[in-house]
Amino acid sequence: MPVSLAVLQIAGGILYLLMGGDLLVRGAMALSHRTRFSPMVIGLTVVALGTSAPELVVTLSAALGAYPEIAAANVVGSNIANVLLVMALPALLFPLAFDKTSARSHSVFMLLVSVLFFVLCWDEQLSRADGLVLLAGLVLFLALQAGTKLDVEEEPVAPTLLPSVLSLPARRWSLVW
């Protein structure tokens, strides 16, 4: 494959990634406004589950293919990348503002689940019962989040940055999307 074609494919992939991320954020904000759930709740549920779907496929494939180390490493590596990379890069670019109370409770829950995962892995295997415990933790978390409907201000969904990045007029861009 010629180098120029590979560069074009990488640039196209980055463009698709930007457009997909923009659509995901705009759709999540619109869902937040429509359902009257806070953006944090939508981010913790809908966006998190949607972006974790590829990781789920990789983990299931590794587990079914008798590669449990890959499955476990994918889960641990994904969590490390999400906390340290996915939060760090946006925070470097723009300050991240959030509700201190809910962030604290979510952080405690994440810490408890991490400790639970460590304890369940102590015997160097995750059984079906362990999987049920972790799945029950997810259901509990989602149920608690579903009960925290918050007032969302009636303001329009934030305009996207993608048209300016691509030097497209905002009005025409909204027609495309």
Would you state the pLDDT for residue 148? 61
Q: Give dist(CA 138, CA 143) in Å, integer.
A: 8
pLDDT tens-place string over residues 49-77: 888 888 889 889 998 998 888 988 988 88
CB 107 within 8 A of CB 124: no
pLDDT tens-place string over residues 32-52: 888 887 777 788 778 888 888
CB 105 within 8 A of CB 5: no
The structure's pTM equals 0.63
Q: Give dist(CA 142, CA 45) in Å, integer.
A: 7
Q: Give dist(CA 32, CA 40) in Å, integer.
A: 9
Mean pLDDT value of segment 103-120: 87
Token code pair at residue 36: 């009257």
Q: Give dist(CA 131, CA 128) in Å, integer.
A: 5
Q: Is the pLDDT of residue 78 over 90?
A: no
Contacts of 154 (CB under 8 A, 6+ apart): 33
pLDDT tens-place string over residues 123-172: 988 889 999 999 999 888 888 877 665 544 444 445 555 455 444 445 44
Q: What is the 8-class DSSP label of residue 81?
A: I
Backbone angles phi, psi at 122, to 5 degrees: -60, -35
Q: Give dist(CA 164, CA 167) in Å, integer.
A: 5
The answer to which of 14-18, 82-86, 137-141 has the lowest mean pLDDT is: 82-86
